[in-house]
Structure 1
Amino acid sequence: MTSSDITLYGHLQEWAAAEPQRTALLDPVPASIEQTGLEHGHVRVTVTDLLTRADQFAALLAAHEVGDGDCVAVWLPSWADTYAWQFAASARGAHVIGVNTRYNVAEVGHVLTKARPRALVMAHGFRGLDFLSTATQAVAEAQAEAPVDSQQPFVPPVAFVWPVPGASDDPVATDYDLGSGAVTVPAETSPEAAAPPPAAPSADRLSVAFTTSGSTGMPKLAAHRESAVVSHSQHVAARVGYAPGDVLVEPLPYSGVFGYSAGMGALFGGAAVLLHPVFDEHELVSAWNAFGGTHFVGADDMLSRVRRVCEDTGTRLDSWKWAGVADFQGMSADIAHWAAESFGTRTVGVYGSSEVFALTAFWPTDTREELRYSGGGRLVDPAYDYRIVDPLSNEPVPSGSEGEVQLRGANVVDHYLGDTGEGAKNFAGNGWFSTGDLGRAQGPEAFEYVCRMGDVIRLRGFLVDPAEIEFHLITHDDVELVKVVARTDESGAPEVVAFVQPVPGSAPDPTEIRQYCKQRLASFKVPTEVRLVETMPVTAGTNGSKIKAAVLREWAAQPMEATEVLASRTSKENHHDT
């Protein structure tokens, strides 16, 4: 039996047998809990602890007849138990769909309707969020919308209620009964709870599903086979180069593909994962420093806040060796230079999605600098393939030309949960998956991510990536954040509008900023208009905060006075969300 033939649960068993005291996770404990044996407010979860907890959860699933081929929806923040549910599902031959804690009725209902989970693991007492009311309403709407004559009527999932550490009260199981029963998950591990015999490995068995971005509607649920999860995690571990004693600092939620792929790669590489369920840069930097974090995977906006704390407090992260960064706000290069000069950190851009796994590609640390911090990179597994094609003809483009990135391999989505045929349009034949990303080849094993196909702006016959203009604008001394969008002029031709969030305390002149662009950019790339905004409209997504380009496009189509009113309202909303 090869390593890829072993289930996730089987690998956990092997880790516990080989190194029973190896640290797997560093689990935060709220300050309100008095507990002995804590290290800087965290408890070390060994692979043996994780296996014992997974066995306990597998026994709970078995008691409620959740098993082979069933779906388990896990609606939890990123604590150690969230990982344990994945391994427990593996032990039962089931698969997991992660549900982000920010989801509300529409998103939760969509997941329940599409995935049809047999079990829903819910958090109780997390940040005052009323998961029960949301789930109750989502189930009611799903039942009401289900076709009467359906051969597969909607059946509510069994609710497994998990009290988060530090919850102010204990959950009452009967309160959480959504129609198929409910059980309270014990807060403490019971070592004597014997797990049922584990499921045999299967090449076709699903393991995990992730929600896609849903930028053009409700998200699809992209599911992957267990053998692919194992193989991908092993290749990520090898390419990152984890060593015993390394610590991955992971502020991203395990329910999302980046947090999941990064965390599983670290475990397969023998590293520990420092969990951080609620992003707070001060707490994160403190824990990072205390545990000697060596690796980081996350978004550039998160690291910008980490940098601010380090500079304000004088905290040094000298253990930090490597960072894989998603460039959501155009700050990766600047952050990479700071980290390298301050701590000797090597930073690379990364690439991935719910449908092809996160960290499917990232750049080697010796890549030339103009590429190293951008999205894309070298494919993590030599068995993965890519090609760049003309999106209209689906034919490969000449070397050096831009086109749509297509991928083929075990990393590509195997199934969309609840799919009624809509998933087929993402495939171009012969196994090629159309990513919807604009890219450029950089050799046989690597490509450069340019932008989403829908973000490309055609200016005077040229296809222009907005980031090209943004990268120039961000070098202006008074510009803290910038986002470039397109609108049409009176003749119907596209033109560029740049939204600029100034450096605090500065008052740049929009005319001067346009002149700054004229000094270096081709005339057709110079923004027709520069608009100053106090705060960018952002959405706090699974993988970090992203600027809402769609909102800015709406603003760009309106007079400046309307933008000022909307931007002021957005500033208040952003402040409320944080």
Structure 2
Amino acid sequence: MTVPSDASPPPARFNGARYCLEANARRHPDKPALILVGDGDAAQVLTYGEVDRAVRGVAAGLLALGLAPGSRVMIRMGNDADYAIVYFAALAAGLVAQPSSPQLTPAEAAFLMADSGAAAVVAAEDCPLDPESCRGRAVLRPADVAHLRAGPPLPAYADTAADDPAYLVYTSGTTSRPKGVLHAHRTLWGRRPMHDHWLGLRETDVVLHAGTMNWTYTLGVGIQDPWARGATTVLYTGRRDPGIWPALIARYRATLFAAVPSLYRQIVKYADLAGHDLSSLRHGITAGEALPAHLLAEWTRATGKPLYEALGMSEISTYISTGPTVPVRPGSPGRPQPGRRIAILPPEGPPEPLPAGETGLLAVHRSDPGLMLGYWNRPDEEAAVFRGEWFTGGDLARLDADGYVWFEGRHDDVMNAFGYRVSPSEVEAVLIGHPDVQEVAVAERAVREDVRVIAAYVVPKPGHAPDREALIAWCQERLAGYKCPREVVFLEALPRTPNGKVQRKRLAETAGA
């Protein structure tokens, strides 16, 4: 189905950083673009004029290092302003930003560096880097970034084409190694449908985002989208306490608040919502996990404010949503945003869209400007997700008669850990290396009605008795924290098909038997 829209295609020559910053810096240079709040009352405020100047300074410095157009710049920084500055500087210079999580172990980061062929790595002072993997690459620390920020600025943003590569993000797939999702500059233009129809975003808005800078949900909804509209972003860098969020909404008169459903659940349960003035807030927005109908009702009852959900993925960000123009239907993430063209395709056979009511693979048309350019050096995986004119990301869903999407799970085994996609194979590849483990399978496990965690189902080697905490610690030494299992379940054997394939969907059932 296609939802009508007056959205125009991106200009042929288009630079995502210029789109977000140049006009805003000229029109209102003294307006706050970014407010970073730590513990206590301290806050760092950067205006549009200051961000534009810093971005162009770092962009010029990166080019002075001899980086060629299209070179990847890996970002390994903490939750601070320089993360955003370096990200936009790479785009401004015609380079490719490669945001990554500081939670990655040195070995995980080394794989991403090698896979992307990153020419430069920008890392926080306390971020460990493997010296061998950095050999031949420019390595910049915070002092270097500060020097570049103060240096001569790039006179003009790079004259990139809309289809030129802009950023590369790594996401878990069905294999044991993350894969790079390459996006073009046009992707920032392709986010425009969500501005009106999910976020309801205005130039006068103050957007409080609960995520950290390295997450694409934060970079996109928390920074790129507000800056594209000339709004103000507020990010919190202090201790994670559910009670802080209503206090921040009140203190900064936030009009939009973005988080994942699990945080909304904690806020409703533990925060003093009635003790803070939330009158500035128009609505909350949520993505990354499915929003349970009862949580939606609890939030609305406690605050009197709407909560709008969106469904998306790294390859296209959010493209299904509720919002100011799409009424909420509890249990559904919404309808296609105007200008999006989606379909439900049969899992096998010709890519002919299925009628309303039938379950199949949720697909988006490859003409969407927000869709990725492709997977980095993974032609086989790329070929597997494009079927004719459609991109299929592995979500099973159906459409009702009114065009609302009803999510029916994943066609593959990819898990969702607090909004991050995690491949079971990646976790299994770590656990199978433990000397006490004979076999292992990893899957999501429901611990409450609306809470699911990553669980490892382990068959010990004969004569061995591995300790649960020791296995979790083994993972924590080798994987980013969000990838590590929260539970370990010991089994005598893994459930398998007659052909020997592990039946992940039967793991929880087997464990309970």
> Normalized against structure 2, the TM-score is what?
0.74
Partner of 2:355: 398
Find out whether 1:289 has 2:289 as its counterpart.
Answer: no
Q: Which shifted more, 238-247 or 86-95?
A: 238-247
Alpha carbons 1:349, 1:373 under 8 Å: kept: no
Give the Å deviation of 1:255.
Answer: 3.0
Partner of 2:458: none
Find out whether 1:236 has 2:194 as its counterpart.
Answer: yes
Alpha carbons 2:445, 2:508 under 8 Å: kept: no
Deviations 1:69-103 (A, max 9, x none): 11111112332222211221122111111111111
| Structure-to-structure mapping, 1:249-398, within 5 angstroms | 249-263=208-222, 264-277=224-237, 279-311=240-272, 314-326=275-287, 328=289, 332-357=292-317, 359-365=318-324, 369=328, 371-375=329-333, 377-382=334-339, 384-393=340-349, 394-398=351-355
Q: 1:542 to 1:47 in 2, by over 3 A?
A: farther
3-state secondary structure, aligned to 2:408 = strand
Partner of 1:434: 392
Deviations 1:39-71 (A, max 9, x none): x32122111111111022112202201241111
Number of aligned residue pairs: give it: 429
Partner of 2:140: 160
Partner of 1:100: 101
3-state secondary structure, aligned to 2:67 = coil
Q: 1:282 to 1:344 in 2, by over 3 A?
A: closer
1:22 to 31, 47, 52: 31
CA distance in 2, matches of 1:325, 1:550: 29
Give the partner amino acid of 2:169: F
Find out whether 1:557 has 2:510 as its counterpart.
Answer: yes
Give the Å deviation of 1:197.
Answer: 4.2
3-state secondary structure, aligned to 1:412 = coil
CA distance in 2, matches of 1:228, 1:499: 35
Q: 1:423 to 1:106 in 2, by over 3 A?
A: farther
CA distance in 2, matches of 1:205, 1:41: 39
Q: 1:443 to 1:272 in 2, by over 3 A?
A: farther
Alpha carbons 1:8, 1:90 under 8 Å: kept: yes
Percent identity reads 19
Alpha carbons 1:438, 1:449 under 8 Å: kept: yes
Give the Å deviation of 1:283.
Answer: 3.6
Deviations 1:20-48 (A, max 9, x none): 122211123566xxxxxxxx321221111
Deviations 1:318-370 (A, max 9, x none): 32222222373x6643333233233331112211111112x22211357565x
Alpha carbons 1:251, 1:277 under 8 Å: kept: no
CA distance in 2, matches of 1:325, 1:57: 32
Alpha carbons 1:282, 1:309 under 8 Å: kept: yes
Q: 1:327 to 1:244 in 2, by over 3 A?
A: closer
Give the partner amino acid of 2:302: S
Alpha carbons 1:298, 1:544 under 8 Å: kept: no
Find out whether 1:55 has 2:15 as its counterpart.
Answer: no
| Structure-to-structure mapping, 1:197-216, within 5 angstroms | 197-216=156-175
CA distance in 2, matches of 1:203, 1:16: 22
Give the partner amino acid of 1:158: A
CA distance in 2, matches of 1:312, 1:268: 31
Give the Å deviation of 1:373.
Answer: 4.8
Deviations 1:247-278 (A, max 9, x none): 21112233333222212112212221111246
3-state secondary structure, aligned to 1:83 = helix
Alpha carbons 2:206, 2:255 under 8 Å: kept: yes
CA distance in 1, matches of 2:277, 2:62: 45
Partner of 1:82: 83
CA distance in 1, matches of 2:88, 2:234: 18
Find out whether 1:417 has 2:376 as its counterpart.
Answer: yes
Alpha carbons 1:385, 1:445 under 8 Å: kept: no
Q: Which runs of 5 or more residues in structure 1 are unaligned?
A: 32-39, 126-130, 141-154, 164-183, 457-496, 504-536, 561-578
3-state secondary structure, aligned to 1:424 = helix
Give the Å deviation of 1:379.
Answer: 2.6
Deviations 1:128-157 (A, max 9, x none): xxx23x4336x17xxxxxxxxxxxxxx642
Give the partner amino acid of 1:105: P
| Structure-to-structure mapping, 1:85-164, within 5 angstroms | 85-125=86-126, 131-132=127-128, 134-136=129-131, 139=133, 156-162=136-142
Find out whether 1:449 has 2:444 as its counterpart.
Answer: no
Q: Which shifted more, 210-219 or 348-357?
A: 210-219
CA distance in 1, matches of 2:304, 2:148: 41
Alpha carbons 1:7, 1:90 under 8 Å: kept: yes
CA distance in 2, matches of 1:216, 1:235: 32
CA distance in 2, matches of 1:501, 1:327: 18
Give the Å deviation of 1:284.
Answer: 3.6
Q: Which protein has greater RCO, CA pairs closer than 8 Å, 6+ apart?
A: 2
| Structure-to-structure mapping, 1:495-510, within 5 angstroms | 499-501=446-448
CA distance in 2, matches of 1:347, 1:286: 18
Find out whether 1:66 has 2:67 as its counterpart.
Answer: yes
Q: 1:207 to 1:287 in 2, by over 3 A?
A: same
Alpha carbons 1:355, 1:413 under 8 Å: kept: yes
Partner of 1:224: 183
CA distance in 2, matches of 1:273, 1:366: 23
RMSD, aligned α-carbons: 3.5
CA distance in 1, matches of 2:52, 2:301: 40
**Bigger CA radius of gyration:** 1
Give the partner amino acid of 1:362: S
Q: 1:307 to 1:201 in 2, by over 3 A?
A: same
3-state secondary structure, aligned to 2:109 = helix
Give the Å deviation of 1:429.
Answer: 1.8
Find out whether 1:10 has 2:10 as its counterpart.
Answer: no
